[in-house]
Amino acid sequence: METPSARELERPAIPSNRRNRVKLLALREDIPRSVYLLAGSGFIAVVLIAWAIVTYGGFISDLFLPTPTAIIDEGVRQYERGILVQDARASIYRIVVGWFIATACAVPIGVMMGNFKLIEGLLEPFIDLVRYMPVVALVPLTILWAGIGDQQKFLILFIGTFFQEVLLIMDNVKTVPHDLIRVGYTLGMSRFEILRDIILPASFPGVWDTFRITLGWTWTYLVVAELVAARDGLGRRIMEAQRYLATEQIIFGIIFIGILGLVTDYFFKITGAYFFKWTKER
């Protein structure tokens, strides 16, 4: 019933073993997309299978590592009781607000630091100092300063995000080739115009990528932010489970946070690829 198209008939028969010999481990060479995706999903599959073997096989106690089905059941339970949506909503709200405040500060300050040596010299030593302070250790101080409401959560997420983000933005701005700035000068533009019309648009793809990375970091600080006096939230649920040694609740929480982080990551990746087609070199 199938008739080969004209195109297929024209194509000379090449012995299939001679065609496209793929070297999978050639240095930096591209490999077929299918192989690439297969490797990634295959690895996850291997981890899942190993997990299934050690848990269903009874090699390991439920207390240390519950079975995959126990984790799924826990997810279903939380969803049906409405806890999951409530927690996710509370956490996403904190993440979004905390990250927005951090970003709203990091962008202008990072842009200034990237363009003006004086401001870089003024702020970088301080930022570097704070950047290495452990955020967890700042929790008592944030309670003292911001109380135990959502403000304290925002503050923790802000501290965890801002000091890293501002330096990344500074670097994004600095990657704009100096010759582009010089073009602006030769066209008679003022420094402000060059900043607005050349430096900002030129650094935007890099800044977008910084958004992607830093929002991921904000997710990792969620548990720290909800460590104290949170009534709900995904991080809170994990801390609570610790008290009752509810391992499946802990693991479900971790995986769920991971998935939400992955989704936001992909959101920025896909929108970035759409907005910034012009960055792709042929």
Partner 1 sequence: MEHPKVAVRHISHWFGSSQNGLFVLDDVSLSLAPNEFVSVVGTSGCGKSTLLNIIAGLIDPSEGDVLVDGSPVAGPGRDRGVVFQTYTLFPWMPVWKNVDFALKKSGFSKEEKQALVAHYIETVGLKGFENAYPNQLSGGMRQRVAIARALVYKPAVLLMDEPFGALDAQTRGMMQELLLSVWEEHRITVMFITHDVDEAIFMSDRVLVMTARPGEIKQEFRVDLSRPRRYEIMTSPEFVALKHAIVETIREETLKSMVSVSPATRAGR
Query: Which residues would be at the binding site for partner 1 (CB under 8 A)?
Result: 177, 179-180, 182-183, 185-189, 197-198, 201-202, 204, 276-282
The smaller minimum CB distance to partner 1, of residues 176 and 257, is found at: 176
The smaller minimum CB distance to partner 1, of residues 90 and 194, is found at: 194
The closest alpha carbon to 115, from 189, 187, 198, belongs to 198
Residue 226 near residue 233, CB atoms below 8 Å: yes
Q: How far is the CB of 124 from partner 1 (least distance, A)?
A: 24
Q: How far is the CB of 280 from partner 1 (least distance, A)?
A: 6
Which amino acid is located at 51 in the chain? W
The smaller minimum CB distance to partner 1, of residues 62 and 193, is found at: 193
The token pair at 126 is 């301080």
Tell me how far apart the alpha carbons of residues 282 and 280 are, in angstroms, rounded to a whole number: 6
The closest alpha carbon to 222, from 133, 107, 104, 136, belongs to 136
Q: How is residue 13 annotated by DSSP? A: P
The smaller minimum CB distance to partner 1, of residues 167 and 207, is found at: 207
Q: How far is the CB of 188 from partner 1 (least distance, A)?
A: 4
The smaller minimum CB distance to partner 1, of residues 145 and 185, is found at: 185
Q: How far is the CB of 166 from partner 1 (least distance, A)?
A: 24
Q: What does the CA dihedral 36, 37, 40, 43 come to, rounded to 10 degrees?
A: -100
The closest alpha carbon to 237, from 256, 260, 220, belongs to 256
Q: How far is the CB of 32 from partner 1 (least distance, A)?
A: 25
The smaller minimum CB distance to partner 1, of residues 151 and 175, is found at: 175
Q: How far is the CB of 209 from partner 1 (least distance, A)?
A: 15
Tell me how far apart the alpha carbons of residues 277 and 182 are, in angstroms, rounded to a whole number: 25
Tell me how far apart the alpha carbons of residues 73 and 264 are, in angstroms, rounded to a whole number: 25
Tell me how far apart the alpha carbons of residues 181 and 115 are, in angstroms, rounded to a whole number: 11
